[in-house]
Structure 1
Amino acid sequence: MQYPEALDYLYSRLPVFHRIGAKALKPGLGNTLALCEALGNPQNQFRTIHVAGTNGKGSSSHMLAAIYQSAGYRVGLYTSPHLQSFTERFRLNGQPMPEAEVAAFVEQHQALIESVEPSFFEVTVAMAFDYFARQQVDVAIIEVGLGGRLDSTNVITPEASLITNIGYDHTDILGETLGEIAAEKAGIIKPDVPVVISETHPETEFVFRKKADELNAPILVADQVYSILDKGLVSGKRQVEVLREGESPLAVEIDLLGTYQLRNLGGVLATVSVLQSIWPVSVEAIQKGVATVTATTGLKGRFQTLQEHPRVIADTAHNQPGLVSLFETIETIPYQTLRIVIGLVADKDRSKVLSVLPQTAVYYFCQAQTPRSLSASDLQAEAAQTGRLGDSFTDVNKALRSAILQSSIDDLILITGSNYTIAELTML
């Protein structure tokens, strides 16, 4: 079996969330456990860090991987969804899983897949565990797909869990209040396993503390321990000073430029701190890791500059809290006119998303080539009802070309709204 054939088999046979949404989910961990059991339980053959959260879990996972790679460890990284290539989901020391490995896994385990009838995501989780076990990684950073308690990745017992933040997203699946959503995320907390919470929130902190207390899990709320001071952008990197009581100030620079990354950084540093007895990491490795995340792990689409004059930035923010954080960063950048290329999925509450978009921007509404995508014309009409005006395009690249043609060199073009929209950019 060749790679294209294997990929076509997975997409055509299995329900895929990024194509059909919640209908692709298979409740419970039974399928994942069955796959892992047949594979010899590879998830028990290496040590892990488990990362959940509404926003920031992908960036935090990549930062952790970059730090441990910089410290000399053999690091596996599992994230989802991918942007441009399926193999991006599985990285070994920053390099995507070889296509031949995907083909071999599908060919070897086709009968198992057809027997268990898992979802697309359940197969990718099992594939990741099998790959990392065979590659004998020192540590694997495992990002939750959706929620936590019933997520397929939750069959692991990690050395630590990290929960980045809680916001309104996937409310049809995870709950309609922040407390309900937090309870689903708290499902990754394991007995006696340390858990780090990146951000304090009055509606969710008690949920995490109660769950941690029930399971005797040491808990650390990062922003109650670390102060992260933004020193601005210098030479294309964000300069930061980290303060922790009883320790000398730590100066770091981050190549992930969004100001929201400062909140992620605290959780990452706290996680590294609680795991020092397992994976010792020097200050120099931390500094090198966070300064070279994009080069070290291949992370894309997080406040990523695609060109200058006019400046074009791509960011995968796709829900209300993510977009609020994104526009906090946008407001720190000088520009003449803000032009926003945006596409959204159809199966989410778009009113909250539209409410945080600036009314003074010029809009270019588009749609990704996936069944979940909201049509550009429908998005244009909904946005117009809220005073956000612009033209519609059937393709993100056409929308971007139009924005560039209409821009002066001092304008700022932002492409956002959906992972799937960003994934189709030819400039990425």
Structure 2
Amino acid sequence: MPDTPPARVSRTLDEWLAYQETTNVRDIELGLDRVRAVWEAMGAPRPAPIVITVGGTNGKGSTVALLEGMLRAAGYRTGTYTSPHLLRYNERVRIDGADAADADLVASFERIESARGAIPQTYFEFGTLAAIDVMARAGVDVAILEVGLGGRLDAVNIIDADGVVITTIDLDHQAWLGDDRDSIGREKAGIARAARPAVVGELDPPEGLLEALRGVGAMIERAGSSYWWETGTAPTWRWLHTDGASLELPRPALAAPVQFANASAAIAALHALRPVLTVPLAAIASALAQVRVGGRLQRIGERPLTVVDVGHNPQAARALAEWLDAQPRAGRVFAVYGALADKDVAGVVAAVGRRVDRWFLAGLDQDTPRGLPAAVLDAAVAAALPEAERAAFPGVAPAWQAAREAAGEDDTVLLFGSFFVAGAALTTRV
């Protein structure tokens, strides 16, 4: 039997989170039966009158933030749910742009515990139900929910979304989602609903995704077909739709060329939901110019330029490589890299390899049981890039310290590979 939470009436958020890790034997256990049963026992609260769900392999967090910014600039009260967090659990749930308060999360956890009886819930299922409950009690106008893993069997999918965005499809979490893009695309398509918009944000999506969306009867809005964008080198860029819509916009504050695709997908979702949402051009432009997301090519230092990114799979690494190629610089690139055991280290380092002059490899086994020890990571990088200059360290802090000492003022230090790397970089100063 799982441990019971502390007996006293008042429990802290940290105590609830520790307790949740004991209520189910698996960290990940896909399926909707358990979480749906508890949600229904809570009265089946809907997080908001209008719900947008965002799934995909990469770009979800940025797309959620852009949607949130655009809707708030248009005067809507928003609720957002994302995962994982960088520094504090409260980041996962935001109400009108502010992280949820401890008291609100605790109140929702208490309601979940009362409703669940003997039904086990994973840590993520507890969090999803709490996000839904906090938003419902806050009375938000629009909820934006990020899928944690996959789509069809992810806990977020107990909510029927009014519209969905599927950002990209690539190989990640193959143990749960499948070994090819078609299989993964079919799983991620499970968040779509019949006769409701489904934005496909990738220019070259797998056919499995499109087939599944057509099978559901979703109203597909496809990048490069239903809508597209023109960037060029001017201070502005243009978003266009086959219905004749054309928006001239400021370039996104979010770095990396891939952010044009994320921004375009967010705009396409709002465009498709015009019958229930009104978001003027000025609101879209304001959000593009202001929205930034922690851990997404976040600059935390200058001279040397120091950048933090949560990219952890080959597709994300290719986006990092594209960003590096676009940077005017004379110096070297030093990478502080750490990875989890289920990630494609070879694919990641191959994507950025020739652009990195020296690797500072950080073991993450002290941060999480899923983290690769430094020696294992070093062997994996050596196998993928035999000629790479590299050194291994027991954690992010010593790896970053070594990189900082080696870097000159014109160099770039890139810390990436995991939310654990990003979180450590944002809480440690060297």
Q: State the TM-score, normalizing by the size of structure 2.
A: 0.90
The offset of 1:12, in angstroms, is 4.3
Secondary structure, counterpart of 1:115 in structure 2: coil
Change (3 A) 1:48 1:383: same
- Structure 2 gap ranges (5+): 1-10
- The CA deviation at 1:306 is 0.5
5 Å matches for 1:103-252? 103-113=106-116, 115-201=118-204, 204=206, 206-231=207-232, 239-244=236-241, 246-252=244-250
* 1:75-114 matched pairs, under 5 angstroms: 75-113=78-116
Q: Percent identity?
A: 32
Question: In structure 2, which of residues 294, 297, 307 is the aligned counterpart of residue 300 of structure 1?
Answer: 294
Who is 1:66 aligned against?
A: 69
Q: Distance in 1 between matches of 2:36 and 2:259?
A: 34
Shift of 1:348: 2.8
Consecutive unaligned residues in structure 1, runs of 5 or more: 16-22
Query: What's 1:3 paired with?
Result: 13
How many residues align? The count is: 411
Q: 1:3, CA displacement in angstroms?
A: 2.4
The whole-number CA distance in structure 2 between the counterparts of 1:219 and 1:94 is 29
Distance (whole Å) between structure 2 residues aligned to residue 41 and residue 110 of structure 1: 15
Aligned-residue CA RMSD in angstroms? 2.0
Distance (Å, rounded) in 2 between the aligned partners of 1:118 and 1:33 = 10
> Quick one: structure 1 residues 108 and 32, their matched pair in 2 at CA, closer, same or farther if it must change by over 3 Å?
closer
Structure-1 residue corresponding to 2:5: none
Instruction: Give 1:244 shift.
Output: 4.0
Query: In the alignment, is the contact (CA less than 8 A) between 2:105 and 2:134 conserved in 1?
Result: no
Q: Give CA deviations for 1:242-287 in whole Å, capped at 9, x if unaligned.
A: 3445344512221111111111122111101001121101000000
Q: Which residue of 2 aligns with 1:358?
A: 353
For residue 310 of structure 1, what is the amino acid of its counterpart?
P
Moved more, 150-159 or 217-226: 217-226
- Tell me, yes or no, if structure 1 residue 48 matches structure 2 residue 51: yes
Which residue matches 1:367? Answer: 363
In structure 2, the CA distance between the partners of 1:111 and 1:39, relative to structure 1 (3 Å rule), is closer
Contact 2:311/2:418, CA 8 A, preserved across alignment? yes
Q: Secondary structure at the match of 1:105?
A: helix
**In the TM superposition, what is the alpha-carbon distance from 1:25 to its structure 2 partner?**
1.9
* Cα contact 1:341–1:365 (8 A) shared by 2: yes
**What SS class does the counterpart of residue 371 from structure 1 fall into?**
coil
Q: Match of 1:376?
A: 374
Q: TM-score, normalised by structure 1?
A: 0.91
Q: Distance in 2 between matches of 1:222 and 1:40?
A: 38
TM-superposed deviation, 1:232: 5.3
Match of 2:286 in 1: 288
| Deviation by residue 1:68-119 (Cα, 9 ceiling, x = unmatched) | 0111101000001111111111001111110112222334443444621111
- 1:47 deviation in Å? 1.9
CA contact (8 A) 2:50 2:161 kept: yes
Cα distance in 2 for residues equivalent to 1:247 and 1:270: 10
Contact 1:223 1:266 in 2 (8 A): no
Distance 1:328 1:376 in 2: 27
Give the aligned partner of residue 20 of structure 1.
none
Helix, strand or coil at the partner of 1:43: coil
Counterparts in 2 of 1:35 and 1:46: CA distance versus 1, 3 Å: farther
1:326-405 equivalent positions in 2, closer than 5 A: 326-335=320-329, 336-359=331-354, 360-368=356-364, 369-385=367-383, 386-387=385-386, 388-405=388-405
Aligned partner of 1:320: which letter?
Answer: P
Q: Are residues 384 and 209 of structure 1, via their aligned partners in 2, closer, same or farther at CA, if it must alter by over 3 Å?
A: closer
Asked whether the 8 Å contact 2:189–2:209 carries over to 1, the reply is yes
